[in-house]
Amino acid sequence: MTTVLFIHGFPFDHLMWRHQVAALSGWRVIAPDLRGAGAALGPSAPDEYSMAGYANDLIALLDGMHVQQAVVCGLSMGGYIIFELLRRFPERVGAVILCNTKAEADTPDAKRGRDALAARARRDGALAVADEMIPRLLSPATQKQRPDVVREVREMIGRQSVTGVAGALHALRERPDSTAVLDRIAVPTLVVAGDDDVIAPANEMKQMAEVIPDTEFVLVRGAGHLTPLEQPLVVNAAVAAFLEKLG
């Protein structure tokens, strides 16, 4: 049976995939918390967090479950981790689903933003991070019409540990540029964008998809950066159709 490994973004945990995990009954689904996120313990020093470290943790998880190869589905930071898996463990990746992500490294300005957010998290806690990020995470439509989704995302961010948040921010600011990985992806790839995503804009994701050799692009309307939670039915259908085609 095909295994699908769901890799969450920042600053979330595995529950950001709850709709997909519930809907995908024909596949073996694994949706872990990355180190320092959700219920997973993590080191306290930020420099012990990196995309390479997250990737190593996931390979150890697959090894422990005797899974030789998985379809990997990542959102945003989850996508950055997929690029790391493709660089170092390509034989473990059977197909790729990239949601709301990008291949470029952080600009100097973005790195300063990471440092400021880590300082804010340490000073004011994870809920302050939620309140700062939500206007950019969710589409205007979701923010106006879906108070349940806004609440769910706020609570999810609010329960993250400050050490995990600061560690992930360190990993994000230090991540390598992955644009050279794109045209070497040798497995079927699905790219999912939200038409109101201001963090990984849809037009940039479309350009990224055009570089990947065997790719499909799906634009999700009415969604910002969190397509799996904002438009779960559309994302479930796209992912299921992609997985079915893989056989």
Question: Is 240 an interacting residue with respect to ligand MLT (CB under 6 A)?
Answer: no
CB of 76 to ligand MLT, least distance (A): 3
Chain CA centroid to CA 129, Å: 17
Taking the least distance from each CB to ligand MLT, the nearer of 6 and 10 is: 10
Question: What is the rounded distance in angstroms from the CA atom of residue 230 to the CA atom of residue 221?
Answer: 10
Location of structure tokens 């709850």 = 18
- What is the nearest approach in angstroms of ligand MLT to the Cβ of residue 65? 24
- Residue in 5, 34, 51, 77 binding ligand MLT, rule: CB under 6 A: 77
Structure-token pair, residue 191: 């790219």
Nearer to ligand MLT, 50 or 188 (CB): 50
Q: Does 54 bind ligand MLT (CB under 6 A)?
A: no
Q: Is 192 in the site for ligand MLT (CB under 6 A)?
A: no
Our finding on whether 172 is near ligand MLT (CB under 6 A) is: yes
Q: In whole angstroms, how close is the CB of 11 to ligand MLT at the nearest point?
A: 8
SS (H, E, C) the chain: CCEEEEECCCCCCHHHHHHHHHHCCCCEEECCCCCCCCCCCCCCCHHHCCHHHHHHHHHHHHHHCCCCCEEEEEECHHHHHHHHHHHHCHHHEEEEEEECCCCCCCCHHHHHHHHHHHHHHHHHCHHHHHHHHHHHHCCHHHHHHCHHHHHHHHHHHHCCCHHHHHHHHHHHHHCCCCHHHHCCCCCCEEEEEECCCCCCCHHHHHHHHHHCCCEEEEEECCCCCCHHHHCHHHHHHHHHHHHHHHC
Residue 164 binds to ligand MLT (criterion: CB under 6 A): no
Choice between 34 and 86, CB closer to ligand MLT? 34
Query: Contact at 8 Å (CB) between 229 and 153?
Result: yes
> Tokens at residue 105, please?
């490294």
199 lies in the site for ligand MLT, by CB under 6 A: yes
Q: Does 76 help bind ligand MLT (rule: CB under 6 A)? A: yes
Q: How far is the CB of 50 from ligand MLT (least distance, A)?
A: 14
How many residues touch ligand MLT under the rule CB under 6 A: the total is 7
Draw the binding track, 83-122, toward ligand MLT (x: CB under 6 A; -: no contact): ----------------------------------------
Kindly write out the interface string for residues 8-37 of this chain, putting x where it contacts ligand MLT by CB under 6 A and - elsewhere.
Answer: -xx---------------------------
Shortest reach from residue 153's CB to ligand MLT, in Å: 11
Under the rule (CB under 6 A), what is the footprint of ligand MLT?
9-10, 76-77, 172, 199, 225
